[in-house]
Structure formats: C-alpha cells, structure tokens
Structure 1
Amino acid sequence: MTRTTFPKALTTAWSLLRRATVYELGMWRSLFRWILRRPTGPDGTVAFGYAGVVTPLLIVFIVVSTIEIPVLDLILPWKIARIVAAALGVYGVFWMIGLLASLRVHPHLVGEAGIRVRNGISIDLTLPWDAIETVRRRHRSLPSGRTVQLERTETRIVLNIGVSSQTAVDILLREPIVLPVPKGTEEPVHELRVYADDAERFVTCARQFLRTALPERAG
C-alpha cells in the first residue's frame, strides 16, 4: 500500500465504522421506542407501515435463534465456548428484534409537509407536496431483493425503495429531483416507488392532502 492510498483506506474504514456505529445505536434506540410505545410520527401525520411482509420471516429467525442458545449450551463441551456462544446468541436475538423494531417505529408518514418515506433507520426523506405530480397504486415486482434499486430508460430514472422485492405505490414527481438515499443516484429521478402494507389507504390519504395543498395539481 502506497503512502497516498493508506490515508484514503483509513478514511474509508473510519467512515464505515462510523456508519455501522450509528446504525447499531439507531436499532437499539428503535427497540426502546418500540417497548415504550413512543409515537411513530408528529401530530397531524398519518403513519403507514411497510413491515408486514417481512415480519413473519424475522419472527421465524428470532424463534430459531432463541432455540439455538440452549441447544449450543448442551452440545458444546468447553465452558468458555458455551459462554461465548450464549453471549453471541443473546446479542443476535436482540439485534433481530431491534431490526424489526426499527421497521415498526419508522413508518412512512403522510401529512401537511408532504410524504415522508422511510425504511428502518437507513432511509428517511421527505417529498413536499409541490414536488409531487400525483400518487397512484400499482403493485410491482423488483428483479432483486435489494432495498434500493434504479430503473433507467432513455428519458426517465425511477428510484425503487422496495420491501421483499416489491413496491406498491408510485409517486410521480413534477420535476426530476435528486433523492439522497444510500446506494441511490446523484442524478435527478422522475419517479419514486415505495411499498406500503395498505397501499390503497396510503394513496387515498396522499391524494387528499395533495388536493388540499395544491388543488390545481392533484391527480
């Protein structure tokens, strides 16, 4: 490694460590908020969950991981190995519960300020009503399981924020804008597609706010 690449590698490693730490703290904070049943959004906003399709899978992982803790304690012959396995197992169970909590306590929000699109603690962006042309319901399957996916044509860029390889709501923008999401694009996008458990109610609510905020532009 040359002298020039070493500081760059160190900066990259520090950036990754910082992001991992912020993510970890955010998950534990979400878990405490979930336990304490804190409000999911400000007054005047309507919350829409998106974790319904992944909750059963996460619960299965949590249950299986919980069962593994006493099983490993029985089969491992060394005391130190049993202690380490138990500690990692308990941490892993609470980590998955924290992940589920982060999805539950950070729903999409629709209110006077616009549509706030979220995905756990990783994505949080607000689209004001004057940036939105219309909102419509349409279920789409995505080609991979990645949360953030881009679709490009010769004239349009679509940003998908999917859950379980699917979206259910299309948000068409009046003008292309840059949406700052992890692993997204620095180019302006023309449309944002997201998933909501109750997509029909999401669209109905969004259109009501859109008509109130900008009656001449509501679609």
Structure 2
Amino acid sequence: MVRPSGEETPGIETVGIETVGIETGGIAAVGIAAVGVEAGGGRTVRDGPGGDETGGGRAVRDRERDGDGDGMGLTRRLLVHEGRWLGSLGLWVVRRRVGVREGDRVLPYASAQASIMLGLAFVCVVETVGMAFLLAPVPVAHAVMLVLDVYTVLMVLGIHAAAVTRPHVLTADGLRVRQGARLDLWIPLERIESVRQDLRFPKMERGATAPGVLEVAVASQTSVTVELSEPVVAGWLLGGSREQAVTTVRFHADDARGAVTAVREAVERTRRLQRGSAPSRTHEGPRTAAGTP
C-alpha cells in the first residue's frame, strides 16, 4: 500500500472503490467526463522484495499513475473513474485486458452481470430515441438531453466493459481481485490460508458486512471465499472508510470451481517452493586444527 508519506508496505495492497450514480427519471446521468485509454495490456505492480517487477507491486503503480492516492480530491477521483471506464470501452472493442501477462490465469466474472448491464443499456437507448422525438420542438432542451442520454448509454456500457477488461488474475506470486474500474486488491499467495467455493448473496447495506470481511459481489452474489493468514488493507476510494484490514475476501468468478482449483494449486506450489528453499542445517562433529573430524 502506498501511504501519503511515500512509504510502501510490502505485501499489502490497497483497494480502490468508486461509486457511480445513475438517475432514471427520464434516464439521465450527470458526471465528469475524462478521456483516458489504457494500452499495453495494463501494466500493474506487485509488492515484491526490493519493489521489483516480479514481486507484487504492479497494481500499486497503476494506481499511482491513475491518481489513486489517499490525498486525492473528490473531483480527481471522479475523473479517474471516468477515464477508466472510457478507456475500457476501447479495450473492449479491441479485445484487450488490463494487467494480464503471459502465463497469468484469467478468472473472469463479468458474465453474471452481462444481461443486467446490456438490458439497462438497451432501455437507455430506447429512452434516448423517445426523448429525441418528444423534445424536437425545443432545440435547447433537445440538445442537452441528447448529450446526457448518450453519456448515460456510454457509461453503462463502459462500466460493463471495465468488468470484462479487468478480470481477476492469478499469477505465479499472487491473486489480483478486481471489480471493474472500482476495485483492485492484491493478495500474495503466501498469505492465503484456504480457498473454497462458497455461493453467497450478501447484503450490501452499510454495516451489514462483518469486520475483516471484504465482499466483492457481482450481480449481488459471491462464489469464492478466500481466508488469509495475515490481513491485507483495502482502502475505499469514495464512500465508506478509506482503509480496512481484511482477513476474508469473498468474490465472484464465472467458473468458481475452476478458480478455486487454480488458486489451491498455486498456493500449494508456493508452499512447496518455500519449503524447498528453507536453509538446511547440518550438524557436524568437532573438527581438528587441520580441518578433519
């Protein structure tokens, strides 16, 4: 996690969550637009020994680049969110993903919300056409509503595109849990105590989640539960507490069974490597001055 003083805490990742409001009276959304296209597959950072690229800090550098700092103002946070989902639209079109390298295991989760988001986008398109006909005699109102309606359609598609282009990622040294443009949490494999398939429909009201538990629900459901031996820190970008130490992370994956199997295998592989790299101690008998026992 990157703190205001510039110090980096190894092995601890920060989670960023933004909130987006959509008004559905005539469906209109008002926000701050910013254009930002992420290319190159989305470099990320993982916190590793010495802060090298192979350790854990790819997500930290992404957030530093995007402005995910504790001291970032509300306007800049909104701009970051706008830039991310706008950039995701372009990545979605060219079928590219952010933060996925060769050898990484992708754990997608966007299918659960696809019907909801695409259905909402269709309703917004219908509303846009209807309002265009109704307000045609009033040019100023017609122009204003047309801009807002088109923006709403793009935002709905962009939020879904962010989920498609920012999947969960399992790497050789950690699990990256994400939720579109709103959340990015790095969990080192050595901190994972257990992982299991666990279908839940959590209540998302404030205070409904137990302390130390992070719910990363998609379409109001989670399907994988990860228990940690040491906490990681989740920092809320907008709303809620800025930082929360969590030891249980629940998230959704389209293939929950496959995700659990892949994470378990990666954790076991990491444990075997750690046991194999442990220094061996040999007990030798007393030696003479010439070096012979």
TM-score normalised by the chain length of structure 1:
0.83
Q: List structure 1 segments (4+ residues) > 6 angstroms apart after TM superposition.
A: none
Moved more, 119-128 or 83-92: 83-92
Deviation at 1:110, TM superposition (A): 0.8
Moved more, 200-209 or 51-60: 51-60
Distance 1:127 1:53, change over 3 A: same
Indicate the structure (1 or 2) with the bigger Cα radius of gyration.
2
Write the distance in 2 (CA, Å) between the matches of 1:189 and 1:75.
Answer: 51
Partner residue in 1 for 2:197 = 137
Unaligned runs of 5+ in 2: 1-71, 275-293
Please state if 1:49 is matched with 2:104: no
* Aligned partner (choices 124, 138, 147) of residue 184 of structure 2: 124
More strand by share: 1
* Residues 203 and 209 in structure 2, CA contact (< 8 A), matched pair in contact too: no
Unaligned runs of 5+ in 1: 1-13
Write the distance in 1 (CA, Å) between the matches of 2:215 and 2:113.
Answer: 17
* Aligned partner (choices 232, 237, 249) of residue 192 of structure 1: 249
Aligned residues: 199
Partner residue in 1 for 2:120 = 61
Write the distance in 2 (CA, Å) between the matches of 1:103 and 1:166.
Answer: 15
Q: How does 1:2-81 map to 2 (within 5 A)?
A: 15-40=73-98, 41-76=100-135, 77-81=137-141
2:109 partner letter: Y
More helix by share: 1
Deviation at 1:70, TM superposition (A): 2.1
Write the distance in 1 (CA, Å) between the matches of 2:92 and 2:208.
Answer: 29
2:138 partner letter: W
Distance 1:129 1:188, change over 3 A: same
Deviation at 1:200, TM superposition (A): 0.4
Name the SS of the counterpart of 2:234 in structure 1. coil
1:93 partner letter: V
1:36 partner letter: V
Identity %: 31
Deviation at 1:66, TM superposition (A): 0.9
TM-score normalised by the chain length of structure 2:
0.63
